[in-house]
């Protein structure tokens, strides 16, 4: 069995959005758009726990995790109209001056 690759995309909300507005839009509007990306094996949204904002602003407001069978499957997906649609929709809720992403292969330590 080969290891799947995972794209981790750390994102920040647009400053004019509340945490609640950002999380709702990401989950309810953007989620279904991103879920249509071809070759996608798993898609998870990791939202910062809202109560933690009272203490300090987090480095990012969340992270998306997108799993693919391999790099070729991920590269093909990135050329798709579905990814283009997801990137276009990101303009509605993501502050693109504060994002980071990387591609990884998981190395489980505790299962």
Exposure of 63 by Cβ count < 10 A (0-12 exposed, 13-18 middle, 19+ buried)?
A: middle
C-alpha distances out from residue 107 to 5, 26, 33, 56, 79, Å: 11, 28, 29, 31, 28
pLDDT digits (tens, 9 = 90+) for 50-99: 999 998 889 999 999 999 999 999 999 999 999 999 999 999 999 999 99
Measured between alpha carbons, how far is 74 from 108 in angstroms, rounded to an integer?
A: 21
Kindly report the pTM of this predicted structure. Answer: 0.93
pLDDT digits (tens, 9 = 90+) for 17-51: 999 999 999 999 999 999 999 999 999 999 999 99
Half-sphere exposure of 52 (CA within 13 A, CB side): 9
**Contact criterion met (CB below 8 Å) for 4 and 46:** no
- Predicted confidence at residue 12, as pLDDT, reads 98
């Amino acid at each position: 069995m080969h290891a799947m690759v995972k794209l981790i995309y750390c994102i920040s909300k647009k400053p004019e959005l509340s945490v609640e507005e950002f999380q709702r839009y990401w989950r309810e509007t953007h989620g279904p758009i991103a879920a249509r990306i071809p070759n996608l094996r798993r898609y998870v949204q990791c939202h910062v726990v809202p109560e933690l904002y009272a203490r300090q602003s987090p480095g990012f407001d969340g992270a998306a995790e997108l799993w693919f069978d391999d790099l070729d499957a991920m590269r093909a997906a990135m050329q798709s109209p579905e990814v283009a649609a997801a990137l276009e929709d990101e303009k509605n809720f993501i502050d693109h001056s504060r994002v980071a992403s990387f591609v990884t292969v998981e190395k489980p330590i505790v299962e």
